[in-house]
Amino acid sequence: MKTRAVLGSIFASASVLVIGWQAGASAAHSAEALTSTGSTGSTTASTATGSGTASTPSSTTSSSPSSTGSASTGGSTASTTKTYTGNVIDTQWGTVQVEIKVKAGKITDVVALKLTDVGGRSVEISNYAAPILRQEVLAAQSANVAAVGGATYTTDGYLQSVQSAIDKAGL
Distance CA 117, CA 102 (A): 27
Distance CA 29, CA 31 (A): 6
Distance of CA 35 to the CA centre of its chain: 14
Closer CB to another protein, residue 1 or residue 137?
Answer: 137
Which of the residues 5 through 64 are near another protein (CB under 8 A)?
Answer: 12-13
> Minimum CB separation from another protein for residue 136, in Å?
7
Which of the residues 76 through 95 are near another protein (CB under 8 A)?
Answer: 92-94
User: Does residue number 139 form part of the binding site for another protein (CB under 8 A)?
Assistant: yes
Which of 97, 104, 128, 135 contacts another protein by CB under 8 A?
A: 128
Q: Helix 24-34 crosses helix 64-74 at what angle (to 10 degrees)?
A: 50
User: Does residue number 137 form part of the binding site for another protein (CB under 8 A)?
Assistant: yes
Using an 8 Å Cβ cutoff, are 134 and 6 in contact?
Answer: yes
> Minimum CB separation from another protein for residue 33, in Å?
25
> Minimum CB separation from another protein for residue 139, in Å?
5
User: Does residue number 127 form part of the binding site for another protein (CB under 8 A)?
Assistant: yes
Using an 8 Å Cβ cutoff, are 48 and 27 in contact?
Answer: yes
Using an 8 Å Cβ cutoff, are 20 and 50 in contact?
Answer: yes
Closer CB to another protein, residue 78 or residue 168?
Answer: 168
For 102, residues 6+ apart whose C-beta sits below 8 A from its C-beta are: 34, 81, 82, 83, 84, 108
User: Does residue number 98 form part of the binding site for another protein (CB under 8 A)?
Assistant: no
> Minimum CB separation from another protein for residue 135, in Å?
11
DSSP letter assigned to residue 97? E
* Residues at the interface with another protein (CB under 8 A): 12-13, 92-94, 117-119, 121, 123-124, 126-132, 134, 136-137, 139-155, 157-158, 160-167, 170-171
